[in-house]
Amino acid sequence: MSLFGTMKTAVSGMGAQANKLGTVGDNIANASTTGYKSASTAFSSLVLSSAGGNYNSGGVETKVNYSISQQGAAVATQSSTDLAINGDGFFVVQDTAGNVFLTRSGSFTADDNGNLVNDAGFTLLGYEYTGTTPTTVINSYDGLVPVNVSANGMTATPSTTGSITGNLSDSAPIVDPTKLPSENSATVNVDQIGTLKTSVTGYDSLGNEIKYDFYFAKTEDNVWEVTVYNAADASANGSFPYSGDPVASDIMNFDPDTKTFDLKSLTLDDTENDLSILVDLSGMTQLAATNSTIEKGGINGNPAEQVRSVSIDSDGTVYATYAKSASRALYRIPLADVASPDNLSVLSGNVFQPSADSGVVTLGFAGQTGFGSIASKQLESSNVDIATELTEMIQAQRSYTANSKVFQTGSDLMETLINLVR
């Protein structure tokens, strides 16, 4: 056995324990870091071949592992943009250069541009909600944009869809053909029993209100005419004649057997305001009643108004709440995952990137198979256990000291050997 080999083995041991102390120090320093994943040091022996009764001392090798798949405890907060993932998955974020990363750190706040940015400066990415549920690109980040929840400035949404539900009286009298609303003449009597009027408000792209007058008039048994005008074109008395043509007009045929109308929807073609609104009429009935009535109705869209607050559902849908109109979906936040999360490459800022050992990134939405759920007003705390780290620190200190004693002993023996030739 070589004395130099013994000293080198002791140095290897001290270096290994120093690495362990390094991971312990990082863990303790980040015990309060949101979404931090603890590091640990694994040891493996390094054996050198020995022959002829001579033993060649080897050493020890170390590998740093990260407990990325181990979830930290959830902590409640007061901010609706603080997000935690319950289960598998990572938020998709990007840095200022546009590089994409994964993270579990969901402490997002709006920057001066309204983009959601976490404590490390990474911007949350999501899919824009344009009226239909977004579709993820499973193996690509294509389509992802910064999630912007700016409450500055005004927001208006043009109308695209609507619905009307009501009952047209089966006993209503047939309207004189010359007094049908579609004739658009001064002889039309809105108060006549065979005609039902209701109004619904929509919005153009600038948020201007547009009121539409709906008229349902019985033309013969089980047949009704529906005609819609822009209320702004009405006469001074608010009725007929209108200065413009109807934006929609059609015939509704009632089937006594199925008790339904054949006309299920009506498109308002308002070219003057550059709007095309599809109104659902499937809820209309013709039952016995004293008068025809409208039970409910409405058209989507909202006027020009500011966003008052933002909320995020467990499926990752980001909603904006307005002062007057209904809340509206803005974005859908996806989650990303890999086959082996513990083998992701760890980078500064508590973010990760896929490696050759982690597998490729797949994207999906919260609640889908293989992905957890998103909790608003919560943060995932560090998964570091201080008691465990302090124990590991004491063990590393003792082992480091023992290795230093081996080195010191080898040094003393080497000095004794040198003294033999003096």
pLDDT in the model for residue 9: 85
Cα–Cα nearest to 380, from 132, 89, 53:
89
In order of 18, 60, 130, 149, 296, the CA distances from 278 in angstroms are 70, 73, 17, 29, 16
Residue 416 belongs to what H/E stretch?
helix 386-419
The CA angle 338-107-313, to the nearest 5 degrees, is 75
Asked whether the whole model's pTM tops 0.75, one would answer no
pLDDT in the model for residue 50: 65
- For the chain, give the mean pLDDT: 90
pLDDT in the model for residue 44: 83
Q: What is the pLDDT of residues 350-394, one digit of tens each?
A: 999 999 999 999 999 999 999 999 999 999 999 999 999 999 999
Q: What is the pLDDT of residues 50-86, one digit of tens each?
A: 666 676 677 788 899 999 999 999 999 999 999 999 9
pLDDT in the model for residue 191: 76
- Taken in order 62, 63, 69, 75, the sign of the CA dihedral is positive
Pairing of strands 248-255, 260-261: antiparallel
Residues of the chain with pLDDT under 50: none
Taking residue 330's Cβ as centre, other Cβ atoms within 10 Å add up to 20
Domains of the chain (ranges; CATH) run 3-67+383-419 (no CATH), 80-151+316-380 (no CATH), 156-304 (2.60.98.20)
